[in-house]
Amino acid sequence: MSRNYDLSDPTDLEMLKSDFEFYKADEWQKMIDWSLEEGNKKVLSYDERGALMIARKKALYKGHPSYKQMVWALKIADKVEEAKKKKE
């Protein structure tokens, strides 16, 4: 789902919100849990794991983090999905 968003374009911002809302709070939590498993701890940095936690919290309360945080969280989600595919 990796896209490049132009944060000055209202259409891209709406797509970004839509892409962010694609993930529910429990899906963000699954990514966090996966990143904390023994074999996966080095896949994400501490800051990336924190970004996932912010995304989960915002999804849980039906909010949106800043646009930059949403882009970052979506990139991390892509990174997790790619890492999962490699381990299969």
Domain ranges of the chain: 10-87
Q: Is the pLDDT at 67 greater than 90, yes or no?
A: yes
Tens-digit pLDDT profile for residues 2-56: 678 999 999 999 999 999 999 999 999 999 999 999 989 899 999 999 999 999 9
- Residue range 60-74: mean pLDDT, rounded: 91
User: CA 18 to CA 23: how far, in whole Å?
Assistant: 9
User: CA 59 to CA 82: how far, in whole Å?
Assistant: 22
Query: What pLDDT does 79 receive?
Result: 94
Q: Do the Cβ atoms of 14 and 5 come closer than 8 Å?
A: no
- pTM, rounded to two decimals: 0.89
Query: What pLDDT does 82 receive?
Result: 93
